[in-house]
Amino acid sequence: MLIGLLHQNISCTLYESAAAFAEIGAGVSFGPNAIRAMSLIDPDIRKGYDKIATSNAWPEKKKIWFEFNLGPKEDGWKDLKAPGKEGQRIAQVVALDVGQSSVHRAHFLDVLVNLVPDGVAQFGKRVERVEEKGQKMLLTFHDGSTAQADAVIGCDGVKSRTRQILLGEEHQTTNPTFTGKYAYRGLIPMEKAVEALGDELARNSQMYMGRHGHVLTFPIENGKTMNVVAFQTKMDGNWDDEGWVLPMKKDDMFADFVGWGDSVQKILSVSVAPLNPIH
């Protein structure tokens, strides 16, 4: 949004709670609509994205978004309501404009940061209050400093303070709710992924479907790395830990996917990842 406003010659300041621009994590995929939006916001975003984006490696799979495979080999069949044997490909989803298009989050952040002029971003500014003061909006930050603006746009994530200020702290939309889904995330060097899975499954986007979960993989970093996200369901619907990203225990991960097919077991065996809840 900031880059789009600057592209329209609208003066603005970004108040960022972190000490600097930084991104961890792994791969992220963008669909056709998101990629079209990049060009509309600022063509330079799309140009930068295209330089680092990775698609499926095989030419005949360039337009495929994901290939869907049966994951478990036991009681998952009844939940899937899909015929066939374990490991069988049951569907291909095509995205004609872009196919599978993915980047490493940190690398895409670098593209965006390079489009933000010096002095536009102020760091260490966590907003506490936003109040109307005449024709202006007064922002008060956690460090006691203040700033004035004609308008305030809140882009402060799922734990949005600006949403609380606008709607009230007790409003049902102001506090994130655990969906019951959590994910193991990881990156695998492509040579190890090919060794474990073979060239086709490692270098082209796949989704393995099963009981209460799914595992997706796709290439990033110009094919040097395979990104992995393995989703499962916490059946009681409760997330009791204060942290959103927890140290991962491999025994727990394998227990979550017991009975799934050979491909999934091979993926998990070479993945190292944290446990991340989905809110």
Tell me: pLDDT of 76 over 50. no
State the Cα–Cα distance between residues 199 and 217, nearest whole angstrom: 13
State the Cα–Cα distance between residues 265 and 23, nearest whole angstrom: 29
Quickly tell me which residue has 């790395």 as its tokens.
225
Sheet holding 136-141, edge to edge: 127-133, 136-141, 146-149
> In 10 A of CB 71, how many CB atoms?
23
For the chain, count helices (H), then strands (E). Answer: 10, 14
Work out whether strand 89-94 and strand 64-70 pair parallel, antiparallel, or are unpaired.
antiparallel
Tell me: pLDDT of 79 over 50. no
State the Cα–Cα distance between residues 100 and 63, nearest whole angstrom: 7
Kindly report, residue by residue over 181-216, the tens digit of the pLDDT. Answer: 999 988 899 999 999 999 999 999 999 988 889 999
Work out whether strand 121-123 and strand 14-16 pair parallel, antiparallel, or are unpaired.
parallel
For the chain, give the mean pLDDT: 87
Tell me: pLDDT of 7 over 60. yes
Spell out the domain ranges in the chain. Answer: 59-98+177-278
* 170, 173, 178, 181: CA torsion to nearest 10: 180
Tell me: pLDDT of 139 over 90. yes
* Amino acid identity for residue 147 in this structure: A
89 is catalytic: no
Specify the pTM. Answer: 0.82
Q: Is 6 exposed, middle or buried (0-12, 13-18, 19+ CB in 10 A)?
A: middle
CATH class assigned to 59-98+177-278: alpha beta
Label residue 243 by pLDDT band (50, 70, 90): confident
Catalytic residue, chosen from 46, 161, 185, 203, is 185
Query: Which DSSP helix (H) or strand (E) runs through 233?
Result: strand 225-233
Label residue 108 by pLDDT band (50, 70, 90): very high
Kindly write down the DSSP assignment for every residue of 94-131, as one continuous string. Answer: E-TTTSS-EEEHHHHHHHHHTTSPTTSEEES--EEEEE
Quickly tell me which residue has 């655990």 as its tokens.
178
184 has which bridge partners?
230, 275
